[in-house]
Structure 1
Amino acid sequence: MKTAIVWFKTDLRLFDNETLIKAIAQSEQIVPVYCFDEDHFKKTQNGFDKTGSYRAQFLLESIQNLDDNLRKLGSGLVILKGKPEIEIPKIVSHYRAKKVFAKREVAFEEKNVEHEIQELLFKMRCELETFSTSTLYHAEDLPFSIKKIPDVFTVFRKKTELDATIRAIFEAPESIQSPEIPPIELPTLADLNLEFEKIDKRAAIQFKGGESEAMNRLNYYFYESKKLAVYKETRNEMVGSDYSSKFSAWLAMGCISPRTIYSEVKKFEELHGANDSTYWLIFELLWRDFFRFMFKKYQTKFFLYSGIAVDKPNSKEKNEAALKSWIEGTTESEFVNANMIELKETGFMSNRGRQNVASYFCNELQMDWRIGAAYFESQLIDYDVCSNWGNWAYLAGVGNDPRKHRYFNIEKQAKDYDKEGEFRKLWLPVK
């Protein structure tokens, strides 16, 4: 029987998943798998967990939900643990699969694993076929080649909006042919060398992983509360669940696709009318695309101290005391402290907060920006390799910012975006 492996990674969904749909179309039966890559649960060179407990918990919930949804269609998820370059060939051999379908990667570490697996599978006479499933616009549909993508977002956006089209979404499959797949055996946080950390009750939102939760959030934000209609006016607020869409964690894990959100924005506009807010959510999805395409263009450069810049102002390598103070929220800036405590206690921080604490790290503390980016990687539930490292390079003046050295006046920002001090009162100890 013609069997294929569908290797799920950060595309943990059934709806608008081209990888899954193409695998079903080209095979008699499929075996969905997820591999817990042991390298994702180690310490980074800066001493942080590469995947912290908040994100790991969200990941486990997302995988459980994917398995639940697959079983409703007659399939299920096989869980692998170890190195994908060892475990994927093993599962291919076990099921005598002739093809592996997977999401296409763009970042350095993920791309290396993908290449290694491709070479190993080739020797087994098994093909690895990858699909781009993370962006709103498909790379092949852009009005420029990857090498010629403009480095300035506004130029990229205007040309793309004018000359490129967004592809139609893929409906979820109605049934899936699979061999009998045993009940799922998920690792615990302890198995992943992590300890459970409860999200603080003051959190802007209590994230729960999975495609079902992603669709619930979309339905609530668009149709139940209609908060989408005022998104542009409220997106820079800092307290509560509804000042922004909060889709980022589900997008990062691939529980929902940008195109699904886009198609629902269009439906909302038909029902309630288009305005600056409905456009602005699509505008933010374009930012995600831009960073992902920048990674395709520059590959490893976003992980270098100099980024994609020609020159970079000197900074201190690492100041342990200043780093600890920044992480713990005990710096001289109350606004920075409130944001950093929110991140530490919840795994989330507003977009406005992220820009300010990154600017403070780079400009006031003058430390190697990559240390800050690595801490965010560990701590954020919504960590996305391209958005995280792309945004940090941007704030450090070595990325895509045409102004090159963007400096935030933190006290002014606090007055502008936390006028009454509501956010600071929420997160800082009472004096």
Structure 2
Amino acid sequence: MTTLYVLTDDLRIDDNPALNLAARDEKLAVIYCIDDAVFKTDRFGCRGMGQHRWRFLRQSLQDLNQDLAERGQVLHLLEGDTLTLSTDLLRTDQFSRVIRTRGHDHRTNLWWNQLVARFVDIEFIEVDGSTLFDQEQIQFETFPDSFSKFRKGIEDRPFRHSVSAPNQLPGSLDLDSRLITAPTSDASPRGGSLAGKDHLTHYFSTEAACVYKETRNALHGEHYSTGFSTYLANGSLSPIQVVQQLFQYEREFGKNESTQWILFELLWREFFRWYGLRYGDLLFEFAGINGQRPLTSFYRDRFIKWTEGRTPWPLVNAAMNELRETGLISNRARQIVASCLVNELEVDWRCGASYFAEQLIDYDACSNWGNWQYIAGVGADPRGGRHFNIDKQTELFDPDASYRNRWGGAAVNEPLDSVDYYDWPVERIGT
């Protein structure tokens, strides 16, 4: 049997059930498709992937290619439309089976579902590998409408079993593909499963895990974040690998509220994975999963000022500057800037979600769009959205202005809009 293994968010050989299944066959082709759509701008003027995640992705692919080469395989990198590329390969009649790690968001599932419908004589298999649980453990008919209900329903269920990396892989097929190269860069974090495992080991060799609940709301500084999300997003690490290290840490040093909070955040990620699969394209809809349209719109001037860090709120500006320059900001900063866009600026939440998709190294479609829905009040928040008082957040989390000073956060004293209600140009202050 000859198998086509399509990589998605599973760029590793350790704890990769899909790869282990593919390893049982006689011949194997491993491909990763870089869809050209991610470099095109959407209706909000945002691209699907920016420079920071592109650098991180190429480093991750290069790392995986080395791991596969040591086991007799080649990673074929294809560029273009994913559906077209996959269709062309399957029309060669070389493959009797196609395997991938299960996808959870509607947009990336579209091409897979179309392939399944077109090639009825080929076996298509999805394997759970990017989640803590298998799909059979999730009750979609009664899927909870909030994280707290989800957590109560699954916290006593066992996690899926981890699998070891295969020692050897089947022979590779010769495909026309691009050479995988990664940029020479000192930018942090570095992509790849090797870097991910090193980071995981280092994190749990420190005291960071036992004080995480106290540091998790910081805007910057040492260990304000676990840093796992960057490697979980493209599958350089699996959540099971993180949980195993966490449990080992708890066995050696004890369990406390901080270590449990790390697990809590992994379950939060888990919730949005299955939330994305459950609600499909509603994950990306303006009215969200409850069908209630927010009282916001697309104010282009306001949106641009927000992305460029030119709002009246210095803390928001600092966070947006950091995001633009590094591709990462803290969880607290994400909540603050999202609340600002939706509540203060009254801009369509999808604009912010699209901009985060472009900028974030750790972009995860389900978590990103699900959390934006949560803030906007059209998602899984039973309280109907979140509104953060920016002045209070500034006092609590940047009392000495160190974060604002570091990232150039200063108030911009200019109108939010270039035209007024009647489309007359707004006179700028000082002119």
TM-score normalized by the length of structure 1: 0.90
Structure 1: gaps (5+ residues): 190-195
The residue number in structure 2 matching 1:174 is 167
Give 1:139 shift. Answer: 2.5
After the TM superposition, which residues 237-252 of structure 1 pair with which residues of structure 2 at under 5 Å, given as runs?
237-252=218-233
Q: How does 1:4-403 map to 2 (within 5 A)?
A: 4-25=3-24, 27-94=25-92, 96-122=94-120, 125-142=121-138, 145-162=139-156, 164-179=157-172, 185-186=178-179, 206-223=188-205, 225-315=206-296, 317-403=297-383
Deviates more, 1:77-86 or 1:7-16: 77-86
Kindly provide the amino acid, as one letter, of the partner of residue 133 in structure 1. Answer: G
- Asked if the contact 1:220–1:226 (Cα under 8 Å) also holds between the matched residues in 2, the reply is no
**1:413 maps onto 2:393 in alignment:** yes
Secondary structure in 2 matching 1:129: strand
SS of aligned partner of 1:264? helix
Aligned partners of 2:228 and 2:179: how far apart in 1? 25
Task: Report the AA paired with residue 153 of structure 1.
Answer: F
The Cα shift of 1:310 comes to 4.3
Aligned length: 411
Q: Whole-Å Cα distance in 1 between the matches of residues 185 and 50 of structure 2?
A: 12
Aligned partner letter, 2:158: T
Q: Distance in 1 between matches of 2:344 and 2:363?
A: 24
- State the secondary structure of the residue aligned to 2:119: helix
In the other structure, the counterpart of 1:193 is none
Secondary structure of the 1:392 match is: helix
CA contact (8 A) 1:101 1:129 kept: yes
**The 10-residue stretch of structure 1 (412-421 or 59-68) with the greater mean CA deviation from structure 2:** 412-421
Name the amino acid aligned to 1:166. F
| Letter of the structure 2 residue corresponding to residue 210 of structure 1 | G
1:42: Cα distance to partner?
1.5
Task: Describe the SS at the equivalent of 1:209.
Answer: coil
Verify the 8 A CA contact 1:121 1:128 in the aligned structure 2.
no
Question: What SS does structure 2 have at the residue aligned with 1:59?
Answer: helix
Q: SS of the residue aligned with 1:101?
A: strand
Q: Please tell me whether the aligned partners of residues 327 and 360 of structure 2 are also in contact (alpha carbons under 8 angstroms).
A: yes
Determine if contact 1:54/1:197 at 8 Å carries over to the other structure.
Answer: no
Q: Check conservation: 2:74, 2:172, Cα contact below 8 A.
A: no
Contact 2:78 2:178 in 1 (8 A): no
SS in 2 for 1:232: helix
- Distance across 2 between alignment mates of 1:337 and 1:58: 25
The offset of 1:41, in angstroms, is 2.1
CA RMSD of aligned residues (A): 2.2
1:197 Cα deviation from its structure 2 partner: 12
Deviation at 1:159, TM superposition (A): 2.0
Which AA in structure 1 matches 2:232? L
Distance between the aligned counterparts of 1:332 and 1:430, measured in 2? 8
The alpha-carbon deviation at position 276 of structure 1 amounts to 1.2
Whether the aligned pair in 2 keeps the contact of 1:105 and 1:111 (CA below 8 Å) is yes
Q: Is the 8 A contact 1:60 1:186 kept in 2?
A: no
How far apart in 1 are the matches of 2:80 and 2:50?
A: 18
Report how far residue 147 of structure 1 moved.
2.8
User: Which of the pair is proportionally richer in helix?
Assistant: 1
Q: CA deviation at 1:339?
A: 0.4
Distance change >3 Å, CA 198–CA 219, structure 1 → 2: closer
Q: Is the 8 A contact 1:15 1:172 kept in 2?
A: yes
% identical aligned pairs: 36
> Secondary structure in 1 aligned to 2:145?
coil
Partners of 2:240 and 2:363 in 1: CA distance: 19
2:422 aligns with none
CA contact (8 A) 2:318 2:409 kept: no
Comparing 273-282 with 335-344, which one deviates more in the overlay?
273-282
Q: Given residue 340 of structure 1, which amino acid in structure 2 is its aligned partner? A: M
TM-score by length of 2: 0.90
Distance 2:318 2:263 in 1: 29
Q: Secondary structure at the match of 1:383?
A: coil
- SS for the counterpart of 2:171 is coil
